[in-house]
Amino acid sequence: MSALPTRREIWWCEFAETDRRPVVVLSRDAAIPRLRRALVAPCTTTMAVAVDCSD
């Protein structure tokens, strides 16, 4: 048995059109085991560093 995701967690998901990327779980914890699925939102895989360019 695999672990179930919980709300606000970040998981890796495989999408057919974009390959593998991180997603954040949006579903309520109580709904995930009952529905056997979770609503997720894809996140970016680009890591950027904020730089102060005001000088």
Q: What is the 3-state secondary structure (H, E, C) of the chain?
A: CCCCCCCCCEEEEEECCCEEEEEEECCCCCHHHHHCCCCEEECCCCCCCCCCCCC
Q: Which residues of the chain have pLDDT under 70?
A: 1-2, 50, 52, 55
Query: How high is the pLDDT of residue 19?
Result: 84
* Domain definitions of the chain by residue range: 10-42
Query: How high is the pLDDT of residue 24?
Result: 96
Query: How high is the pLDDT of residue 23?
Result: 95
Query: What pTM was estimated for this model as a whole?
Result: 0.71
